[in-house]
């Protein structure tokens, strides 16, 4: 059905008439007319009738343009049939570490070295696919925290965003875990309080930002948000060499397991340590199995904005009106100049 978001805008429809009626009139100044006798007098009568018709059409055009502008300003929209939103689910914010250390290749699959980032994308992508009924958001962090996707039921978009993640798309020189938690809490606090979950994945320690992880966890606890933290780093610090072989590598990152566990427990959540690909899969399976809380039944009606149609029509009519007005004005001026033997009256 058709609805108008701001129907009160229609009160402006009579505004041009009110201006016409109440604006003071300028004093009329009659100019001398050149009135040729007889034949030219008939022509003057014809021009007068033509001008009246033309002015009437111009008035109609202007009225239509004003009406269309008012309709566009009232924000017309087409509201679709109600769509039921699942009655169970969670508001879940996925907060992902995008620092450079996530490129460390210390995960293995069938004797193939994988980076922590590759494993994270694969596991998170599968996790998002299973989130039917949940509302998800994405926060990325490295030296700073950024909101990539606000809370949404559009899981296909969230999954596409995960697939398009690349190391280097944000500043990667440090790890601001506390700021990332704070930004995620800021988004989650706007959602209903019954079941809000924050899942943070990191492979490092907090070494940037304004908030310490424990401070941010206290903020999450105050808002009633449960936070689970996944620390990902293998005990086998190996990286692929430039010739394709494997060699022992230096310790790329250290996870402060004690601090991360304390931060998670402060909110009533859990801390997990993933040292292998299998650990990551098991952890997210466990998170997936957490029982969602029953919510009140909700419906959603999709809305399609239509304001651009009347606005485009008003623009087109304005263009036609200007196009129509210019040539007659020029021709009229030329015809007056070319009348021979005119007389003044």
pLDDT tens, residue by residue, 176-222: 999 999 999 999 988 877 678 999 999 888 888 889 999 999 999 99
CA-to-CA distance for 250 and 256, rounded, in angstroms? 17
Q: Nearest-CA neighbor of 311 among 16, 35, 43, 75?
A: 75
Return the CATH superfamily for domain 88-295: von Willebrand factor, type A domain (3.40.50.410)
- Which range has the top average pLDDT, 22-31, 38-47, 210-219? 210-219
The b/e string for 156-175 (b: 16+ C-beta within 10 A; e otherwise) is: eebbebbeebebeebbbebb
CA-to-CA distance for 118 and 121, rounded, in angstroms? 5
pLDDT tens, residue by residue, 180-193: 999 999 999 888 77
pLDDT tens, residue by residue, 290-300: 755 455 556 66
Sorted by where each begins, the domain ranges of the chain are: 2-22+34-79+304-338, 88-295
pTM of the shown model = 0.57
């Amino acid at each position: 059905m058709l609805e108008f978001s701001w129907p009160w805008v229609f009160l402006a429809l009579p505004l041009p008439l009110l201006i016409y009626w109440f604006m003071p009139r300028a004093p009329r100044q009659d100019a001398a007319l050149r009135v040729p006798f007889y034949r030219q007098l008939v022509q003057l009568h014809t021009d007068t009738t033509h001008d009246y018709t033309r002015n009437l059409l111009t008035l109609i055009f202007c009225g239509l343009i004003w009406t269309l502008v008012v309709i566009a300003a009232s924000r017309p929209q087409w509201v679709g049939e109600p769509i039921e939103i699942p009655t169970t689910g969670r508001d879940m914010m996925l907060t992902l570490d995008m620092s450079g250390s996530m490129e460390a290749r210390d995960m293995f699959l069938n004797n193939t070295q994988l980076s922590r980032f590759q494993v994270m994308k694969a596991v998170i992508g599968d996790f998002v696919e299973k989130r039917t009924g949940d509302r998800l958001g994405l926060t990325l962090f490295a030296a700073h925290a950024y909101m990539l996707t606000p809370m949404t039921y559009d899981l296909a978009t969230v999954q596409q965003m995960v697939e398009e993640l690349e190391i280097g798309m944000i500043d990667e020189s440090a790890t601001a875990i506390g700021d990332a938690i704070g930004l995620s809490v800021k988004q989650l606090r706007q959602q209903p309080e019954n079941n809000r979950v924050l899942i943070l994945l990191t492979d490092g320690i907090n070494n940037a930002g304004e908030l310490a992880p424990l401070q941010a966890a206290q903020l999450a606890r105050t808002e009633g948000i449960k936070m689970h933290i996944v620390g990902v780093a293998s005990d086998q610090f190996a990286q692929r060499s430039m010739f394709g072989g494997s060699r022992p590598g230096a310790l790329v990152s250290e996870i402060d397991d004690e601090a991360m566990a304390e931060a998670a427990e402060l909110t009533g959540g859990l801390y997990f340590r993933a040292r292998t690909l299998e650990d990551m899969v098991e952890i997210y399976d466990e998170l997936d199995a957490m029982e969602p809380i029953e919510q009140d039944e909700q419906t959603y009606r999709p809305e399609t904005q239509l304001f651009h149609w009347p606005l485009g029509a008003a623009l087109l009519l304005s263009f036609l009106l200007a196009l129509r007005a210019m040539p007659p004005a020029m021709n009229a001026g030329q015809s007056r100049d070319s009348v021979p033997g005119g007389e003044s009256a």
